[in-house]
Amino acid sequence: MTFPAPRSNWSRWITVVNFSIAMAWVESAVVYYLRTHLDRLEPHQANPLPLLGSFGPVELVREQATMIMLWTVGLLAGRTGRERFGYTFIAFGVWDICYYVFLKVMCGWPHSWLDWDILFLLPLPWWGPVLAPILIASLMIIWGTLASQFELRPRASKFGAGVWVFSLLGALLALYVFMADAIRAVADGGSAVRAVLPTQFNWSLFGVALVLMAAPIIEQIKCCRRNPIVQLARPACQPSTDSV
C-alpha cells in the first residue's frame, strides 16, 4: 500500500490549487473583457484574430506572463526539482480547467466540451475543442500530485528514459494537432494564419498523443505496485529517516 504525504505537503497542494483557482478567475475575467470588446465571445467565427491597435502584442506578452506566474508558484511551493515541476503541473492543470468553468459562469460559453477555442498564440495560433486541453490538464494534475506528494524509494524511481521520450513525443504530437491548420497557412503569410478557422480536429492522432503523454503516470503507478513501500514527501524541517 502507499501512504499519503504529511499534512504540510497536502497544505502546499491545497495552497497551490487555491492560487490557481483565483488566477483562473482573473484570467477568465480578462478574456471575457477582451472578447466582449472585440465582439468575440464566440471565438470560432470569421476573422478570429482581428488586428486592432496594440491588442495583439499585449496579448502575446500576457500569455508569456501567465506561464511565468504558473512556473513561479511551482518554484515557491516545491523544495526539489521533482516537486517544483509537480506543483507547476498542478497549477497549470487547475488553472486551465477552472478557466473554462469560469468563462461558462461569466458569459455562458463554452456551450459544450466540443466548442472550438483559440488556445494559445505562440508560436502560431493553437486551435482545438475545449475538451482537448482539459484532458491534458487532467493528466498534469495527476502527475503533479504523484510527483509532489509521494516520493518513491530509489529502486522504484528509476524510470526508463524511454518513458520521458514517449511523453515528450506525445506533447509535440499534441502541439502539431493544435497548430496543424496554422502550419499549413504559414506559406500564405501572417494574414492567412490569423484567418485560419479549423472545422475538423484529428481526435485519433490526439488520442495517440494523450496516451504517450500519460506514460510517466502509468510507469509511476506500476512502480508503486511493484514496490508498495514509498517514502513520504517530507516537510521542510523534518529530518531524513529511512523508516516509514
- The 10s digit of each residue's pLDDT in 116-143 is 999 988 888 999 999 999 999 999 999 9
Give yes or no for a contact between 193 and 228, defined as CB atoms under 8 angstroms apart.
no
- The C-alpha atoms of residue 232 and residue 38 are separated, in whole angstroms, by 50
- 41 or 176: whose pLDDT is higher? 176
Give yes or no for a contact between 223 and 153, defined as CB atoms under 8 angstroms apart.
no
Give yes or no for a contact between 54 and 115, defined as CB atoms under 8 angstroms apart.
no
- The radius of gyration of the chain's CA atoms, rounded to the nearest angstrom, is 20
- The C-alpha atoms of residue 138 and residue 162 are separated, in whole angstroms, by 22
pTM of the model: 0.83
Q: Which residue has the cell 496516451?
A: 211
Asked whether residue 222 carries a pLDDT value surpassing 70, the answer given is: yes
- The C-alpha atoms of residue 22 and residue 17 are separated, in whole angstroms, by 9
Q: Return the amino acid letter for 194.
A: R
Asked whether residue 158 carries a pLDDT value surpassing 70, the answer given is: no
Give yes or no for a contact between 169 and 205, defined as CB atoms under 8 angstroms apart.
no
Q: How far is CA 143 from CA 70, 92, 112, 198, in A?
A: 16, 12, 26, 31
**pLDDT score for 60:** 82
- The C-alpha atoms of residue 42 and residue 60 are separated, in whole angstroms, by 20
Q: Could you tell me how far CA 58 lies from the centroid of its own chain?
A: 22
Residues comprising the chain, all counted: 244
Q: How far is CA 222 from CA 122, 190, 200, 217, 230, in A?
A: 36, 46, 36, 9, 13
Give yes or no for a contact between 103 and 32, defined as CB atoms under 8 angstroms apart.
yes
Pair type for strands 150-152 and 126-129? unpaired
The C-alpha cell of 36 is what? Answer: 466582449
Q: Where are the domains of the chain?
A: 7-232
Give yes or no for a contact between 131 and 117, defined as CB atoms under 8 angstroms apart.
no
Burial of 228 (0-12, 13-18, 19+ CB in 10 A): exposed
The C-alpha cell of 73 is what? Answer: 508558484
**pLDDT-wise least confident of 14-18, 28-32, 52-56, 76-80:** 52-56
Give yes or no for a contact between 210 and 174, defined as CB atoms under 8 angstroms apart.
yes
- The 10s digit of each residue's pLDDT in 36-94 is 888 888 888 877 777 666 677 888 888 889 999 999 999 999 888 889 999 999 999 99
- The 10s digit of each residue's pLDDT in 189-220 is 888 888 889 989 999 999 999 999 999 888 87
Asked whether residue 14 carries a pLDDT value surpassing 70, the answer given is: yes
For the chain, the straight-line distance linking the first and the last C-alpha, in angstroms and rounded, comes to 12
CA atoms in the 13 A half-sphere facing the CB of 212: 19
The mean pLDDT of the chain is: 84
